[in-house]
Structure formats: C-alpha cells, structure tokens
Structure 1
Amino acid sequence: MFRSQYADVPPVDLPIHDAVLGRAAEFGDAPALIDGTDGTTLTYAQVDRFHRRVAAGLAEAGVRKGDVLALHSPNTVAFPTAFYAATRAGASVTTVHPLATPEEFAKQLTDSAARWIVTVSPLLASARRAAELAGGVREIFVCDSAPGHRSLADLLAGTGPEPAVDLDPVDDVAVLPYSSGTTGTPKGVMLTHRQIATNLAQLTTSVMPSGPGDRILAVLPFFHIYGLTALMNAPLKQGATVVVLPRFELETFLAAIQNHRITGLYVAPPIVLALAKHPAVARYDLSCLRYIISAAAPLDATLATACSRRLNLPPVGQAYGMTELSPGTHVVPLAAMREAPSGTVGRLIPGTEMRIVSLDDPGRDLGPGERGEILIRGPQVMKGYLGRPEATAEMIDPDGWLHTGDVGRVDEDGWLFVVDRVKELIKYKGFQVAPAELEALLLTHPGIADAAVIGGHDDDGNEVPHAYVVRQPSAADLTEDEVMTYVAERVSPYKRVRRVTFIDGVPRAASGKILRRELRELRELRELRERP
C-alpha cells in the first residue's frame, strides 16, 4: 500500500458553497470572475451576494432540498452563481454538456430526476425539447434573457428570504456529473458536499496553492469535474481571479493569456499540443505564465518538454484523478515541478491511499516499478453511481478501494506513472500494447498533428494496433507506409502499428480524452462497407 507523504487533511463538513465562498467577505472587491471576451467582472462580494439572492429566488420558485437542478451552459461568469445558488437552495446540481443533443439531455434529465433547468438563450431550444422529451421539468431559467423565461437577474431582484436549508455534507449530494461514456452508458456520479469540499482542501492545502493576484484561465468546461474543481472551486476558494472563456479557440485563448496576464493554466493534452506546435503561439506575449498543469488524459513526456521549452516555463506538471474521485488523487506540486521525473502524474495528495495490483491476479499487490491496476481509497471516493448499485459494487470493493481501470506504476520516490486504461490495452498475440505509448510516439512525427490508436484485427483475426492519424497541413502527402515505418523503427515488433487511417480530426470529449468508442464505430462502419 502506498500512502501520501503529506499530513492528512481533516474532512470538510461544509456545504460546497460555504467551503468555496467562506472567505468572500475577506476578498471583498477583488475580482473573482472576468469574462475573457468582453471584460465583464464580478467581485467576490458580488458573487457572494448574487448567489444568495438567486438562491432565495430559486427557493421562492419551489426548489427544495433533494431536488435536482440541471445546469446546461458553456463557461460564463454566471455559471458559478447559478451553481452555488442551487446548492444553497438545497438542490443537487447535474451538469450537462452544452452540446448534448436534446435526446441525450433528456436521458440525463430522466435518469437524474431533474425538475429544474438553468441554461442560456442560445441553448434554449435544446433545453425545451429535452424537457418535453423527459417530462417532469417544472421550469427552465436562463442565465441571460429570453422571452417567456425567468432569468437569474429576475431571481436576483426577488425579495424572498435567503433559504436556510439543513444540509448533511456527509450524505447529501452536491453535484451529479455524468461519466464520459467513452466505455459505456453514462452514469450519474454522486459526489457529496463533504467529498468535493474535502478534495478541494486536499488539493489546495499542500500541492495547488493559489491566492489573490493569481489569474487562472478557465477554458476547460465547468460542467466537467476537472473544470469545476481546478478552474472554478479551487481558485475561488483561495481568492484568485478566474478569467472565463466559453470554449477553446486557439487565437482567443492566446489573446486572453496575453491581455489578462494569466499566471496559471490547467489544461488537457490537446492544448499542450497546440502550445508546443502551433505557429500562432509565437505571435503572443505569454511571459506572464508561471506554470501549466495538464490532466484528464495521458500527456506524453516529450510533448510536455517541447511545450515548456517553447514557453520558457518549468516542466509541464500533470495531475491524475477521475470523476468518481471528486476528482483528484495525484498532482505534481507546483513547488516540485522542476524536480519531478518526466512523465509522472504526481504524488498522492493528503489523506489518500493507493495500491497497484496485478492485472493477472487482482488480489496480489505489486511494489515500486511494477505495472498493475491503480486502486484508490480516501475521503474523495464517490458515494456511488445513481440508481446503479451493481455498477457501484463493481467499481468500489467492500474495503473501500475504488478500481480505476487505469494501469500504472510507482517509482521508489512515490511518483505515479499512468500507462494506459485496462480496457484499452491491445493484446497482440498475448503481448499487451498500450495505445497511449503509440500515440505519444506518433505525435513526435513532424507530419502528424494528432493521433489515436485503437485495437483492430488483421486477416488472421489477431488484435493489432490501428492508428487514426491527422496530417499536418504541410504533410498532405504523408502515407500509411511512412507512418507504419516510422513507428516500426522505434518500437518492439509486437507494438508496431499494422493499420493507418487518415482522418480530419481525432474525436475527443470536452475533457480532452480520446473517444475511442467513436473510432471503433467508424472502423466497424468502414468494415461493413468493404464486405462483399
């Protein structure tokens, strides 16, 4: 068993709105949220006052403890107000992907039993259709304005009393995000107030300190647990300023860093790739940056080094976790970025335990240097999957260990290295091939802009690595044979890429994770068309 080197953090038995905004009065007129495109600014005092008044409006509308409110919005400066107002009114918040189809949205509404929706006017048609399909939705509010719908400003102007809800941080669910669905049906992840508030304390106490004067760019989505924690809850808890962008567009992103003097970035690997390789980066002054942290998907060490060297920064740090873990368990501490070994996702954060168990004999624990499945235990482990006790039992064993499905190893100094997903390992003639390793290698080719690898089959029925490759604009004539030769010259024979398909873009979730399911569906469709 591996344990954190840091002192334990006591459980935080506070509602999430109090855990985050408890020092708002102290920070007062300091800017809390800035719209990265039009400059709209909310101070800490405003966020605190506004969320309390909106909570009163929601309570007056009928929101009660135990209700579920669906927050369906891109990143805006209003998102945190809506989130904390809902939890203060006693509701659990289920965050919804802004690009979800009405059918997908309706499934989440039905599964979570959501009765309220907060959205934005550009997404209103989708929200209305989803509510119609799901049934049971009592009212749809908008963050901005739309005819026939009450807005947050309308709720803000109400005169009702601030709700005094008796929340149980240990048992009451604060947020109900849905797992990405890259490996199956999306499931509601029940995260209690204590779990996410304690995880914030674990992350900010020792490894991710921030404070007044720091400026964090929120480009990853708040609806995803990574963005919700690293880009909203954590900086607002510590008095930093969050500059908000609704989506990632490279030029807008770079301009926001330059113009708002961003000091810290929390990103996913595709953004690191852009920072390392895209020519537009050279046109902007990014000297204000002090550090970059990447998470949500594996980041190749070579790519991380290329990014940090280009920007003249300390090595890009990594973090590790998952929605079911609130989400964090490992981080490269900001103070240790230069000493951390290349490729590590960090050390255990306070109060967290880990085991590495054999893939062939799951009951056998492995020591430093050995590869196996990563198991986690700690106060941040989810309450469970909503309405799915069997799935919960498959994920969390009777001793409280959450089985991540990730393959990793730990060195003698406690640094964790994530190798791949258990379910994504390709078994070629009995040998295990990690897609992430091949993807990292492919990205070192100067003619390749992006790549993903999944398991396919050769003519003999063997599972083989199948690469999906996005060419650089300057490498339009790059061939399948050239790609396979490049890999073959650099890996063991059993790891060679046996098939290559060129595509316009690698499908990814909002978190940056490769949607391998979509690539498998693309492959199956192609195979179906090729059948005689």
Structure 2
Amino acid sequence: MGLAARRVASQSAGVERNQDSGARPVLAGEHYAHYGAWHIDLPPLSLPDMLRQAAAQRGNHPLVDFLGRTYSYNEIWRAAEGFAAGLQKRGLGRGDRIGLYLPNVPLYVAAYFGALLAGATVVNFSPLYSAEELEAQVANSGTRVLVTVDSSALLPTALEVLDHSPLENLVVARLPDMLPRLKGWAMRLFARKQLTAIPARADVTAWQDYLSSQAPTAVPIDPQHDIALLQYTGGTTGTPKGAMLTHQNLTANARQIRAIDPDQGRRDMVLGVLPLFHVFANTCILNRTIANGGCIAMLPRFEAGQVLATIGRVRPTSLFAVPTMYQALLDHPQLKDTDFSSLRETISGGAPLPLPLKRRFEEETGVKVVEGYGLTESSGVVSTNPLHGENREGTIGQVLPLTRVRLLDKEDPLRDPPGNEPGELAINGPQVMQGYWNRPDAAATAFVERDGERWFRTGDIATFDTDGFIRIVDRLKDMINVGGFKVFPSTLEKHLVEHPSVKEALVIGVPDDYLGERPRAYVTLTDDGPPVTGDDLLAWLKPHIGKHERIESVVIRDSLPKTPIGKLDRKALVAEVLGASSQ
C-alpha cells in the first residue's frame, strides 16, 4: 500500500470544485502524501467492540505499563466488564453519564470502557478543575456517578462536589494499589499526606467493592448515533461546551490515524504522558493504541525528568506531546544523556509548533517532529504531516483518510473567500461531532450547510498549498482590529520566538483610543540567550512586520499562563490583563 495506493487516492478522491463560484477547491485527497489510500472502509464499530477484538487478539500482552507494572489486555477487559456489571446492578446504563475525574492511571482505561460497555456515556473532567468548575460541569452534563482516586489532590474536591451538586455517587480507587508493589508500599508508608482516606458513606464506594463478579448484560450500541463521550471544549472563548462524540466518531478517528501509519503491525509502545482526559490523548494514545494492539507506557503527569527516564526504560516507538512539553524536555539537563533512537514517530499537536523549537528539538535528539492538527469537535485529529516522507514546516500537513476541508469567507460562511485570501477552515468527515450537549444554539452556529453537506466551522483561518498541505494563519476570534486592519497574533508570535532570547510568546489586543486596538506581546526568555529588554525586542521586531502590525509594547515575564494540557492560554492572559469582562 505504498506509492500505487497514493496514486489511486489522488485520482479517486481528487479535488472537488465548489459549486458556488467554481474557483475554490474543497481539499480531499489530491496529491495524497500519506501512507495508504485516502478512501478507506470504516464500518460502524463501537468502542467496547474495539477493545473486545483487541483483547481477543492480544490476550495477555500488555496494554498498559504503569511505572513498571504491566496490565494485560485481558486484565483491563475483565475490569471493564466488572465495572459495567456494577453499574448495571445499580440501575445505571443507557442514557446515563458516568464521569472520570482521573489522572493517567490504569483505572482510567477500565472505567472508560466499562461505562461504555454498560451503554452509558463517559464525561471527562480535568484533575486540575476547582470544585466550582467541576460542580458546574457535573451539573451541566447530568453526571450521576464520578470515578476518582484517593489522591489528596482529587478526593477532597470530589467529595465537596458530591455534597453540593446533583452527583449521586462517588467511586474511589486506591492509588497505591495500582502501582508496582514496592512503590505502592512506599507511598502508603512515606507519602501518606498525598492520600486521603475513603470516607465511610453510603454514597461513596471503593472501586473494588463497586465491581461485580457477574457478567454484564449485553447492551446493543448503535455506533453511528449513540454518544460515547461528552468532551468539554477547552473554553478558549466563553463557557466550555460538551462536544457529543459517538462511538463511530472515536473509533473512526483511531482507525484513520492507524491507516496512515506505515509501521502498523510492528512493535508499538506509546509514551502516554498527555492527559487522557484530553481528546488529543484519548484518541492518539488510548484509542489508536488499542486499535493497533500496542502498549501505553503511562505516566500520571508530565515531569520532564520522568519522561526522559521512561524513554530510556521502555524504548517507546511513538511520542505525542504539545509544544511546551518539547520545550521542557529541551530544558532538562538529562536530555543529552537520553537515547531517542527508538522513536519512529514524534508528533506535536494541541497548539502551533514554533519552528525554532521544532528545529532545536530535532537537532538535539535526532528525531523528526511531525506537526498535526485537530479539535475536540473532530474527535482529536483532522490532519497531520506524513509520518514518513515530506514534513513541510509551517503546515499542519494533509487531511486524514475520508476527511475533507474547505475555506469559508471570514464574514459570510455561505461564500468562499475572494481570490487567494485566507478563509475560515471548515471540515467534513466521519470524526466530526454530532453537536453540543444541551446547546442546539451553539451547534447551529458551529455548522454551516454548503452544497447540501454539513461542515464544521473550526474558527481557524487557513490557506491551502496547491498540493494539499494546509497552513493555519490564526484563530478568527483572536484577530486584532487595528484601525480596520486585521492583525494575526500568531504572525507576531512566530517572529518573536525566532529571537534567540525568546522562549515563549503570546500577543493579545489591548484597547487604544485612536486605533481601537493595538497588539501587545508577553514573552518569557531562554536561559542561554543574550540579555534583552522589552524595548530591545520591539526594535528587533520592527523591520520584520508591517506598520499596522506594530506592537504597543513587549512585556517580559517569568511565566505565561497555560491550559491543563500545557498549551499557552491566551484566554487566561486576556482575562488577567483586561479583566474577565473582556471574554
């Protein structure tokens, strides 16, 4: 399935011409550079059936390596069945929402698939949520049962939410029980402050006590229509919304990713450090790995030293991370002593990858970093640069199989952008969500019908290269209006991080009495670059940008706000600088 398949894909998928003007193409599979074909068969498949098939094939092979303790496919499947039967025993199943308030632990996999096996819908919650944030999303989603661990960072918050929300029950697993035996003993003896005792309450049950030894009752699942996951958006603008992802959305995206992997079937050890509560990890680390019969070297959180040590211990073949993680690895003194040669695929997503960071990481480690793109609403992944072959810098690569993209006019989504101007990226494919939970109003504005088809509006401004590679210019809602001229923050940030002293940069619009808005930059500095001031950076930047893009000031800070997954958080910076009312 090499070159010949790609030629067939180019001819069969091709480029579809927009019927409105006949000028702007809809990108599908033209000049397809990925391994395999653009047109593939993705029959309906539920997530429980995907795990069931993998367990039948892989059996006692490891699915999870957790800090040195392995869990086989059969073990995870049996635990999932026990949780599903436990839910059914308590009258829970189809139509109910089961929440996961968990770090990366083996329990996550069993609880996730167990809830789905019972016919329920999973709701992911970030372990970094405050009680107020967790309570709001529990109420919004109608979550009835919440699964967590006895960590002092999580259990007290979960108990507070149990007391002040419609949540009915808490299921709590003991973290030391999941660790390798010696590490579990050590945690009980020397790290007791990190644990909170499970209270004796009727509405709180230990994980092991919740499981049933009976086989769960089979529940018919319609993969095309049954909602498997409520995945709340990161909330870059306004209140987070729950994207409704079906079983087919999620299994299709996992199979799309597997289809472009030229190494499918070979040893597959994925470094699982991205948080599983995030859609990037849910699809690329959890679902994709199960579809491929691989193993996840799971880490509870991102710590650069632990990641480097794990690379040495398990020799992973794939690494999925966000740009700030690559920066943290570069900054760690053990990087130079770490052998990265086992990595066949190193993928960056979740946020734009600055070219200086990409080039430096590749130079220091000898691996190729491939940039991809996706959204919560697309089940994780829309496009990526080819895993093997051309890795075109500054692009998000080409679309996955069966995925199409088009450009919409920035002012009127029913039209195409004039000439060769950038437009809002819209996507159509089997991985696109059904809508937003209890928010038909939001879904109505998120989709547009063109030529009789439903397209999801990403809010990202993009251009297409002539051979099918996609370039993201900026976020539509992040554009700064400078006296009627549109300024893209990402353009200014791209220039700033090219300065040898700048590590990270965020640009936001601030009020200006004359122009309406002006760009202002906030940066952090590298440890090894020449000393600079904000005025120095302003002077350095001036010849690289247009007059309408001139930055009001450059503010040097020790740190910039980040999201739970580690992305630079523009929304938080705007709220901090301009006040929450600006949102």
1:423 alignment counterpart:
477
Do the aligned partners of 2:356 and 2:497 also contact (CA within 8 Å) in 1? no
Do the aligned partners of 1:258 and 1:288 also contact (CA within 8 Å) in 2? no
Structure 2: how far apart are the matches of 1:210 and 1:240? Answer: 10
CA RMSD between the two structures? 2.3
Shift of 1:360: 4.1
Q: Which moved more, 1:8-17 or 1:396-405?
A: 8-17
Q: Which of the numbers 383, 387, 394 marks the counterpart of 1:330?
A: 383
Would you say 1:510 and 2:536 are equivalent positions? no
1:186 alignment counterpart:
240
Structure 2: how far apart are the matches of 1:422 and 1:272? Answer: 27
1:28 alignment counterpart:
59
Amino acid in the other structure paired with 2:55 = A
Structure 2: how far apart are the matches of 1:434 and 1:303? Answer: 20
Would you say 1:73 and 2:102 are equivalent positions? yes
Structure 2: how far apart are the matches of 1:268 and 1:310? Answer: 17
Amino acid in the other structure paired with 2:158 = A
Structure 2: how far apart are the matches of 1:111 and 1:206? Answer: 37
Structure 1 gap ranges (5+): none
Equivalent residues in 2 for 1:219-258 (5 A)? 219-258=273-312
Post-superposition Cα deviations, 1:290-347, rounded to whole Å, max 9, x if no partner, equal 2211111111233212211221123x111111011112211222122xx132122111
Q: Which of the numbers 141, 158, 163 marks the counterpart of 1:132?
A: 163
Do the aligned partners of 2:336 and 2:364 also contact (CA within 8 Å) in 1? no
Q: Give the TM-score normalised by the residue count of structure 1.
A: 0.92
Structure 2 gap ranges (5+): 1-25, 176-197
SS at match of 2:367: coil
Do the aligned partners of 1:368 and 1:410 also contact (CA within 8 Å) in 2? no
Equivalent residues in 2 for 1:261-276 (5 A)? 261-276=315-330
Q: Which moved more, 1:88-97 or 1:203-212?
A: 203-212
Q: Which moved more, 1:355-364 or 1:407-416?
A: 355-364
SS at match of 2:518: strand
Structure 2: how far apart are the matches of 1:396 and 1:70? Answer: 27
Residue 476 and residue 503 in structure 1: after superposition, are their counterparts in 2 closer, same or farther (change >3 A)? farther
Do the aligned partners of 1:322 and 1:328 also contact (CA within 8 Å) in 2? yes
Structure 2: how far apart are the matches of 1:467 and 1:526? Answer: 19
Structure 2: how far apart are the matches of 1:276 and 1:504? Answer: 18
SS at match of 1:340: coil
Amino acid in the other structure paired with 2:391 = A
Shift of 1:278: 4.8
Q: Give the TM-score normalised by the residue count of structure 2.
A: 0.85
Amino acid in the other structure paired with 2:173 = C
Structure 1: how far apart are the matches of 2:417 and 2:549? Answer: 24
1:153 alignment counterpart:
208
2:462 alignment counterpart:
408
Post-superposition Cα deviations, 1:239-268, rounded to whole Å, max 9, x if no partner, equal 111011111111111111122211211111
1:2 alignment counterpart:
27
Structure 1: how far apart are the matches of 2:398 and 2:580? Answer: 43
Do the aligned partners of 1:208 and 1:333 also contact (CA within 8 Å) in 2? no
Residue 7 and residue 284 in structure 1: after superposition, are their counterparts in 2 closer, same or farther (change >3 A)? closer
Equivalent residues in 2 for 1:106-505 (5 A)? 106-122=135-151, 123-135=154-166, 137-144=167-174, 146-148=198-200, 149-156=204-211, 158-207=212-261, 210-211=264-265, 213-276=267-330, 278-314=332-368, 316-336=369-389, 339-366=390-417, 370-398=421-449, 399-458=453-512, 460-473=514-527, 478-505=532-559
Do the aligned partners of 1:359 and 1:372 also contact (CA within 8 Å) in 2? yes
Q: Which moved more, 1:158-167 or 1:458-467?
A: 458-467
Residue 526 and residue 367 in structure 1: after superposition, are their counterparts in 2 closer, same or farther (change >3 A)? closer
Residue 14 and residue 176 in structure 1: after superposition, are their counterparts in 2 closer, same or farther (change >3 A)? same
SS at match of 2:493: helix
Q: Number of residues paired by the alignment?
A: 521
Shift of 1:208: 7.3
Shift of 1:366: 5.0
Residue 471 and residue 177 in structure 1: after superposition, are their counterparts in 2 closer, same or farther (change >3 A)? same
Post-superposition Cα deviations, 1:418-476, rounded to whole Å, max 9, x if no partner, equal 11100001222333222222222222223223221111134534412111112334569
Q: Which moved more, 1:342-351 or 1:467-476?
A: 467-476
Structure 2: how far apart are the matches of 1:278 and 1:430? Answer: 44
Structure 2: how far apart are the matches of 1:280 and 1:368? Answer: 50
Residue 421 and residue 209 in structure 1: after superposition, are their counterparts in 2 closer, same or farther (change >3 A)? farther
1:17 alignment counterpart:
48
Structure 2: how far apart are the matches of 1:19 and 1:527? Answer: 45
SS at match of 1:401: strand
Structure 1: how far apart are the matches of 2:332 and 2:520? Answer: 26
1:85 alignment counterpart:
114
Residue 10 and residue 460 in structure 1: after superposition, are their counterparts in 2 closer, same or farther (change >3 A)? same
Structure 2: how far apart are the matches of 1:275 and 1:368? Answer: 43
SS at match of 2:448: coil
Do the aligned partners of 1:218 and 1:244 also contact (CA within 8 Å) in 2? yes
Structure 2: how far apart are the matches of 1:368 and 1:247? Answer: 47
Residue 49 and residue 296 in structure 1: after superposition, are their counterparts in 2 closer, same or farther (change >3 A)? same
Do the aligned partners of 2:483 and 2:515 also contact (CA within 8 Å) in 1? no
SS at match of 2:239: coil
SS at match of 1:489: helix
Do the aligned partners of 1:226 and 1:511 also contact (CA within 8 Å) in 2? no
Amino acid in the other structure paired with 1:25 = A
Amino acid in the other structure paired with 2:215 = P
Shift of 1:510: 2.5
Would you say 1:54 and 2:105 are equivalent positions? no
